[in-house]
Chains A and B, each alone.
Chain A
Amino acid sequence: MRSHLGRLEVSLLAAAAMKALLRLYPRAWRERFGREMGALLEEMPTELGTALDLLIGALAANAAVIRSNRILSSAAAFLHGVCVAFLVLAIGFVSLVLASQLSANGVNVSVGPFQLASVVFLSHFLFNGQRALTLASAASLSGLLPAIMLLVALAAILAATVAGPRFIARRAP
């Protein structure tokens, strides 16, 4: 249903779920502020924005706990580094496909004597042996569009992953 201000409101059932979101906060935080926050949530309208705010707040509170411990902080940094490498590798794969489509030739990626990857174009033949389609040179925009869209999406996710911790750190209590 919609409120007077036209904002999207969640159902009454969701109000209880909103209170349950407080469980995402660290235990120390809940022991200190949980009761007050619960009372405050009962008075507040149950809006989607409030739920989102609670989620980001929970992330920030947990991040503050993790940052206060050297080992936990290093483990989180390891995870973050792995996530960045994962996305860079995925971008590399899509770039390889895109580059090979643009060049319309096969691409070989190798480091010294080690061959890492190769991209080849396939020709398709009919039953009688006549060549039916050779799509290797058909690097039309419609053919490139899925790869370009994937590349843009991956770049956006990478930017969010790199900037995410700083954004959360700024919101930390």
Chain B
Amino acid sequence: MSLRRLAGAASALVFALTVVAFAEVGLVALLVVFSYALKIRLIIATGSAGILFSPDPLARVEVRLFGAAIVASMLGVFACGLISAGWRFRFWRPRR
């Protein structure tokens, strides 16, 4: 593999990881906003630690998201983007 291709692949990977990281942070922020809007207690449990968002002390619903959900969402977002980009790359044609 030539150096140019290697650099291109590295750039694409960095781009993809950055986009997925921003998407995940945005998703967590959106879930926090939703927990306030829906008045639910949201717990993001990652291993032994966890983050609790409780907008209302009398919240009647508690949603607990586990580490596997976060990993699954990251993989899902990455896969969706990859499929979309791969499809476009494979079937791209210059405009006539």
B69 and A133 contacting across the interface, CB-CB below 8 Å: no
Picked from B15, B61, B68, the residue with its CB within 8 Å of the CB of A75 is B15
Instruction: Give 1 or 0 for each of B15-47: 1 = CB within 8 Å of chain A CB.
Output: 110011001001100110010011111000000
Interface residue B63 (Cβ < 8 Å from any Cβ of A): yes
What number of A-B contacts does a CB cutoff of 8 Å give?
Answer: 131
In the complex, A4→B1 CA distance in Å? 67
Using known A-B contacts A93-B34, A94-B34, determine if residue A82 contacts B63 with beta carbons closer than 8 Å: no
Using known A-B contacts A68-B94, A73-B88, A90-B27, determine if residue A97 contacts B38 with beta carbons closer than 8 Å: yes
In the complex, A124→B56 CA distance in Å? 12
B63 and A85 contacting across the interface, CB-CB below 8 Å: no
Interface residue B7 (Cβ < 8 Å from any Cβ of A): no
Using known A-B contacts A122-B59, A122-B61, A133-B58, determine if residue A150 contacts B37 with beta carbons closer than 8 Å: yes
User: Which range contains the number of A residues in contact with the other chain?
Assistant: 35 or more
Using known A-B contacts A74-B88, A114-B68, A150-B34, determine if residue A136 contacts B80 with beta carbons closer than 8 Å: no
B89 and A119 contacting across the interface, CB-CB below 8 Å: no
B85 contact set on A, CB distance < 8 A: 74-75, 77-78, 81
Using known A-B contacts A78-B19, A97-B40, determine if residue A119 contacts B62 with beta carbons closer than 8 Å: yes
What residue of chain B has the Cβ atom nearest to residue A134's Cβ? B60
**Contact residues of B: prevailing secondary structure:** helix
Using known A-B contacts A101-B61, A114-B68, A121-B60, determine if residue A84 contacts B80 with beta carbons closer than 8 Å: yes
In the complex, A80→B82 CA distance in Å? 10
Interface residue B65 (Cβ < 8 Å from any Cβ of A): yes
Interface residue B81 (Cβ < 8 Å from any Cβ of A): yes
- Please provide the chain A residues from 102 to 122 with a CB less than 8 Å away from any CB of chain B in the complex: 109, 111, 114-122
A115 and B72 contacting across the interface, CB-CB below 8 Å: no
A88 contact set on B, CB distance < 8 A: 80
In the complex, A122→B59 CA distance in Å? 7
- B interface list, Cβ under 8 A from A: 8, 12, 15-16, 19-20, 23, 26-27, 30-31, 34, 37-41, 58-66, 68-69, 72-73, 76-77, 79-89, 92, 94-95
- A interface list, Cβ under 8 A from B: 64, 67-68, 70-71, 73-86, 88-90, 93-94, 96-97, 100-101, 109, 111, 114-122, 124, 133, 135-136, 138, 146-147, 150
